[in-house]
Amino acid sequence: MIIVLKPDATDEQIDHIVEKLDDLNLRPEVSRGIKRTLIGVIGEEDVIRNAPLRAFPGVEDVMPILKPYKLASREFQQEDSEFNFGHGVKVGGGNLAMIAGPCAIENEEVLLEIAREVKAAGANILRGGAFKPRTSPYSFQGLGKEGLKILRAVGDELQMPVITEVMDPRQVELVDKYSDAFQIGARNMQNFNLLSEVGQTHRPVMLKRGMSATVNDLLMSAEYILAAGNKEVVLCERGIRSFDSSTRNLLDLAMVPNVKGNCHLPIVIDPSHATGRPDLIPSMALASIAAGADGVHIEVHSRPEEAMSDGQQALLPDQYAEVMQQMKTLAEVFHKTIPEARGA
């Protein structure tokens, strides 16, 4: 249920409503928009239906939220969400996240080399995996804590926010210590214990769509994070399974306007995992911006033939610089901004 407040509703009236909802064991979620303040009411449906919501001072209207994802819906918040990743980099609300880096952190020398190249090209968030979910248990699984230390050191040296994947609730505290944002991979999109755990942190979470997940599945997973208290969720389309083997996955670009019509959370596109082919990444990256995405996530490696993970789908730094220049031009056409990573 959504309580729509009058334009002249006072802070005292809002506090009064919140207090009364707490007394009813309902959870209020206050959303202050440009024109109106809304209060989302979460809890037992019978209690909500019988609560005297219209009687509270300052209330103009009460409306049901029809979507199953209450907090992620446009009904709850009409304006696009905007989050701060640190170092002056905002995502959403017209700000584009340009996330780039290697699939896996191999050593500090290689990561620093790649990071310098992608930042010079215009990337504003550095990515790199310290924990790697692999299909085979015999494949490289990442450097773990040592990789996190390397990622943090490189991010600090270049004054870039960093993002890395967390795979298990037991890793959340460690990753939180070294990273500016969490990545939830496609295989963990419905790991509800993990979603609830990162939902209790205060860092942005990039949630990747599962390989066989519907859009509704993705939004309900995002709802787990939001319901746990963390409002800074970024969705990521990275391709879904299909019958066609000519690409690694099927990139669902229609998902961008589809989700944006129903959800206020930012959405970024990962054409690297979606296509698995460097020759297709530039065109899909540009198409992502044109479709209305809030950022693009691209794997980059200076020596992909020596990469310990997914080197076959990484762009070379000069290739990334070329597509970044094209994306900058396209961003201007759509009146989007690419914030520059800078000192805190």
Asked, for residue 73, whether it belongs to a domain, the answer is: no
**Strand residue runs (E) in the chain:** 2-5, 27-32, 37-42, 59-63, 83-86, 89-91, 97-101, 125-127, 162-165, 181-184, 205-208, 233-237, 267-269, 295-299
Cα separation, 274 vs 315, in Å, equals 14
Q: Are residues 29 and 134 in the same domain?
A: no
Are 150 and 187 in the same domain? yes
- Cα torsion at 122, 128, 134, 137 (round to 10°)? 150
Q: Give the CATH number of the domain where residue 43 resides.
A: 3.30.70.1140
Q: Are residues 231 and 98 in the same domain?
A: yes
Asked if 336 and 79 touch (Cβ cutoff 8 Å), the reply is no
Residue matched to tokens 């879904």: 240
Give the integer Cα–Cα distance in Å for 13 and 57: 6
- The two tokens of residue 111 are 């990561």
127 and 57 in a single domain? The answer is no
Q: Is 321 helix (H, G, I), strand (E, B) or coil?
A: helix
**Does 226 lie in the same domain as 108?**
yes
The per-residue pLDDT for 139 is 66
Residue 101's region, left for phi above 0, alpha for psi from -120 to 50, else beta, is left
**Beta strands at 89-91 and 83-86: parallel, antiparallel or unpaired:** antiparallel
Contacts for 210 with CB less than 8 Å, ≥ 6 apart: 186, 187, 189, 190, 217, 218, 240
Question: Is the model's pTM score more than 0.85?
Answer: yes
Give a yes or no: residue 77 inside a domain. Answer: no
Neighbours of 105 (CB within 10 A): 29
**Greatest extent of the chain over all pairs of C-alpha atoms, in Å:** 67
**Residue in this structure with the two tokens 């994802």, named with its chain if needed:** 69
Q: Is-contact 106 288, C-beta < 8 A?
A: no
Sheet holding 2-5, edge to edge: 27-32, 37-42, 2-5, 59-63
pLDDT in tens, 25-54: 998 888 887 778 899 898 888 888 888 899
Instruction: Give the pLDDT confidence score for residue 220 in this predicted structure.
Output: 97
Give residue 344's pLDDT. 56
- 139 and 213 housed in the same domain: yes
DSSP, residue by residue, 138-166: TS----THHHHHHHHHHHHHHT--EEEE-
Within-domain flag for 323: yes
Could you tell me how far CA 39 lies from the centroid of its own chain? 24
CA angle, residues 72, 77, 82, in degrees to nearest 5:
80
pLDDT in tens, the chain (344 residues): 899 999 989 999 999 999 999 999 998 888 887 778 899 898 888 888 888 899 999 999 998 888 889 999 998 898 999 999 999 999 999 999 999 999 999 999 999 999 999 999 999 999 999 987 666 675 666 789 999 999 999 999 999 999 999 999 999 999 999 999 999 999 999 999 999 999 999 999 999 999 999 999 999 999 999 999 999 999 999 999 999 999 999 999 999 999 999 999 999 999 999 999 999 999 999 999 999 999 999 999 998 887 677 778 899 999 999 999 999 999 999 999 999 998 65
pLDDT tens digits along 292-341: 999 999 999 998 887 677 778 899 999 999 999 999 999 999 999 999 99
Same domain, 140 and 40: no
Residue 219's domain comprises: 83-333
- Spell out the long-range contacts of 340-344 with Cβ–Cβ below 8 A and sequence spacing 24 or more: 340/88, 340/89, 340/122, 340/124, 341/87, 341/88, 341/89, 341/119, 341/123, 341/124, 341/125, 341/158, 341/159, 341/160, 341/161, 342/87, 342/88, 342/159, 343/87, 343/88, 343/159, 344/86, 344/87, 344/159
56 and 94, same domain (yes or no): no
